């Protein structure tokens, strides 16, 4: 169980869910031409999970000092699992993830795609060891990597089979993935900013240079508050532009995505304690899940 918590299995399960929904709730109902067979798609999911899990491990290794203050009851590395064992597991998972990426890139006839896995693995290490300590940049980088877990499906499953005959359809569905990737980026960006405010005490003791430490908790809260308006605006635009004739989809987006986003923004405006920010972070995590589950609505939206 310690290893499962170390790799943050709940976050990994969300990645699996999203990638399965893309394939079986978005592509298959519309008989979209894809490159990977079921085995290949399973390997893509596994590669993504291995690299993400490795990123979580190296993040925990570098966060031992801050986690001791911010969440002492959840510290695993150095207590339940030795730092050496955690680092060895990090190496093994990276080797598996990158190795599978090499195989998949060649199997779809796009050898340069292999570099995507290498770059993501390297960026996750740089993020944990350096970028996480920099104001905003670290938040943006990790949020881009979260968005990449969605886009990578389109890169390996849609782009390699584009022809003149199916170009319009393939690009249309790739743009849907881009929309969801942007949504995931914005939600994760706000959540990372909120978590920085929540963890300000431990980060300060570890001499990290996060946004709330650099400019103060109140100013950082105002910036996070401003950024929280972006997904609200994006969801409203999406509803007005694409869903105006789909009552079921409109009801879902209003009740389960827009309403929680507005709620989180209101709570952020009055947040003053670590408990408040933890609650807001949890709300955004639920919104991320509900946003991805909306993929199940596409047979109604595009009928």
DSSP state, residue 37: -
Q: What are phi and psi of 289, to 5 degrees?
A: -60, -50
In the structure encoding, which two tokens stand for residue 255, read together? 């009740």
Q: What is the pTM of this model?
A: 0.94
Give how many domains the chain has, as a whole number.
1
Long-range contact pairs involving 242-250 (C-beta distance under 8 Å, separation at least 24) = 242/301, 243/301, 246/297, 246/300, 246/301, 248/297, 248/300, 249/294, 249/297, 249/300, 249/301
Domain limits for position 94: 2-301
Residue pLDDT, tens place only, 166-198: 999 999 999 999 999 999 999 999 999 999 999
CB 67 within 8 A of CB 195: no
Q: Indicate left, alpha or beta for 287 from its phi (over 0: left) and psi (-120 to 50: alpha).
A: alpha
Residue pLDDT, tens place only, 50-61: 999 999 999 988
Residue pLDDT, tens place only, 199-247: 888 778 777 888 999 999 999 999 999 999 999 999 999 999 888 778 8
Number of Cβ within 10 Å of residue 246's Cβ equals 17
């Amino acid at each position: 169980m310690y290893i499962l918590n170390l790799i943050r299995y709940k976050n990994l399960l969300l990645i699996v869910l999203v990638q399965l929904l893309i394939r079986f709730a978005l592509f298959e109902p519309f008989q979209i031409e894809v490159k990977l067979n079921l085995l290949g798609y399973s390997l893509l999911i596994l590669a993504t999970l291995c690299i993400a899990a490795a990123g979580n491990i190296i993040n925990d290794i570098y966060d031992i000092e801050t986690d001791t203050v911010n969440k002492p009851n959840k510290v695993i590395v150095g207590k339940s699992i030795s730092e050496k064992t955690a680092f060895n597991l990090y190496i093994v998972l990276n080797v598996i993830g990158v190795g599978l990426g090499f195989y998949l890139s060649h199997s779809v006839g796009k050898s340069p795609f292999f570099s995507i896995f290498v770059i993501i693995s390297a960026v996750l290490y740089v993020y944990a060891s350096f970028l996480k300590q920099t104001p905003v940049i670290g938040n943006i980088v990790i949020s881009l990597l979260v968005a990449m877990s969605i886009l990578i499906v389109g890169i390996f499953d849609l782009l390699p089979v584009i022809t003149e005959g199916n170009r319009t359809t393939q690009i249309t569905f790739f743009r849907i993935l881009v929309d969801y990737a942007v949504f995931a980026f914005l939600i994760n960006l706000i959540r990372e900013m909120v978590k920085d405010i929540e963890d300000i005490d431990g980060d300060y003791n570890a001499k990290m240079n996060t946004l709330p430490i650099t400019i103060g908790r109140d100013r950082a809260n105002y910036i996070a508050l401003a950024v929280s308006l972006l997904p609200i605006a994006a969801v409203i635009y999406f509803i007005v532009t694409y869903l105006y004739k789909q009552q079921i989809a409109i009801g879902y987006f209003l009740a389960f995505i827009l309403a929680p986003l507005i709620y989180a923004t209101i709570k952020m405006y009055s947040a003053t304690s670590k408990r408040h920010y933890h609650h807001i972070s949890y709300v955004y995590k639920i919104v991320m899940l509900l946003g991805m589950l909306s993929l199940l609505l596409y047979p109604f939206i595009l009928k």
